[in-house]
Amino acid sequence: MLESTGTTGVHKCPHEILLDIFEALVPNYATLYSCTLVNRQFNKAASKVLYTRIVYSPHSNARTLSLRDRGKLLEPSAFVSSMLPYNAIHVQRLEIHGDVPTRPPPFNQLQEKLPIAIHAYRNLRTAVFTPASHCPDTFTEALVQLQGLPCLEEVEVNASCADEQRALLLAGIPHLTKLTLRDPPRAILQLLPEWLGLLKGSLLYFHLKGNCGSITPGVLRSLIPYLQGIRSFSLGLSYSLADVDVFHFLDHLPSLTHVQLQYYLQFNAPKSVPPFPRLRSLSVKHSILDTRQGVDRFCVWIRRIISFSKLESLHLIDDTSPSVCGASVSFDGLGEHISKRHGPTIKYLNLGSAFLGLPSLRHLCQCCPKLELLRIAVSLDTLSKFGTVSQGLTHLHTVEVYVRNTRRSLCNFNDTFISRVFQDAPKSLRRVTVDHTTWEVRWDTREPDMGVISVKKVPAVVLPWDMHSFR
């Protein structure tokens, strides 16, 4: 540890350098907290990083209401200390998740303290209110406070802030650049055109996520005039919408470059799909696909959307977490399409648990020289040859692999195995994940003609708000 006194040590370290060092410690918040106790200089720099993002996310395992629960705020979230004036100035992002108290005051201190906290967060830029459970009035006064924040740019809420009693308050928040509505109820959808008209000059990112069953073709059409300037749009699952409705809507947004959609099987596919030449990023959420016919339909659906675009990012999001090993249907058709149509431009290819065979993967690596991130499922044999296959990917820094079509007894990975597999990989590679276990890859290039690889397993980090032992 550097000395805190004298002409050398931390007093000569610029504040900006300390900030860079402490930002590299995130998400190791325990270490950041320890840094605030060193001296005033460390405290000032570490506090700025530590309190930039405040998350309050209690989890309750109780199945019934406990009369002993007094709704006390939980200190491990740092929410309490963030309200102090010298910490509140650092807060730029506030998130409320989890099982917040469902009883009214005085058994609900969050409802009482939240408006006070937001009033103190004068530099707040992002507010996320998406609790799993809540008291109906928990966010009423908080929404009033959000309307007056000068720096607020992003808001993400679920039905807790968008019901009939609070929708009007929510729709009064001005000057947003990003708006996300999760499971939007009809109450907020009725006010949405007027609100989007208020945000027309500033809104760039608009997302409707989760259960979007209340969104009909008429609702989508009514939003088109107010979304001419948005660059990114997301749409959750709505069985009221057919592909033709969604594609017509997207075709009328001239500035759109990033899209996230929810796929579900439709037998009345449109005869033609509008070209989306401005599209640069596509994310698709889908249910598990375990049949040849289902995978083929899905791949054709994606190919029709991206055929005329210069795609830089493709992200497939499986509703179910990928299991270790097991059988999988190949997505080689999609892999070949990406290689042929988007090879010169694709940078981030996150196919989730989509399986690619060795020939398809080899062709992909040969045709996509700009690839930086790759996430796929492969066989054990393909994984063992990945280093050789990927030699031409000089920009590749992150690889995430799920091993499929292999007996579970053979899936025993350690540092030696990973080091051997990626010995021939490009020197740009820095992070490898195999079946949810992550290694950091380091290259010793002191010998000009020899790159010696070493790997180190990265321990899983449990964030404070993910711990379920608060209560």
Each residue of 271-297: pLDDT tens digit?
888 999 999 999 999 998 889 999 999
pLDDT at position 5 is 43
Token reading at 278: 């401005």
Q: Which one-letter DSSP state was computed for residue 254? A: T
Contact 170, 196 (CB under 8 A): no
User: pLDDT averaged over the chain?
Assistant: 87
pLDDT at position 467 is 57
Which is nearest to 23 in space by CA: 43, 2, 52, 1?
Answer: 52
CB burial string 212-224: b at 16+ within 10 A, e below: bebbebebbeebe
Which is nearest to 157 in space by CA: 169, 149, 2, 101?
Answer: 169
pLDDT at position 39 is 84
pLDDT digits (tens, 9 = 90+) for 83-127: 989 999 999 999 999 888 887 777 778 888 899 999 999 999 999
Q: What is the C-alpha separation between 378 and 364, in angstroms, rounded?
A: 13
Token reading at 269: 């596919």
- CA distances in angstroms from 418 to 96, 359, 364, 432, 454, listed in the order given: 39, 21, 22, 8, 9
Token reading at 241: 């919408």
Token reading at 214: 């209340």
> Domain 264-460 has what CATH class?
alpha beta
pLDDT at position 262 is 96
pLDDT digits (tens, 9 = 90+) for 291-311: 999 999 999 999 999 999 999
pTM of the model: 0.88
Concatenated DSSP letters of 287-322:
----SHHHHHHHHHHHHHHHTTS---EEEEEESSPP
Three-class DSSP category at 101: coil
Report residue 222's pLDDT band, with 50, 70 and 90 as the boundaries. very high
Contact 108, 146 (CB under 8 A): no
pLDDT at position 125 is 97
Q: What percent of the chain has pLDDT over 90?
A: 59
Q: What is the C-alpha separation between 334 and 287, in angstroms, rounded?
A: 17
Residue 440 scores a pLDDT above 50:
yes
Token reading at 326: 């097991």
- CA distances in angstroms from 403 to 211, 284, 338, 384, 440, listed in the order given: 32, 22, 21, 11, 19
Q: What percent of the chain has pLDDT over 70?
A: 87
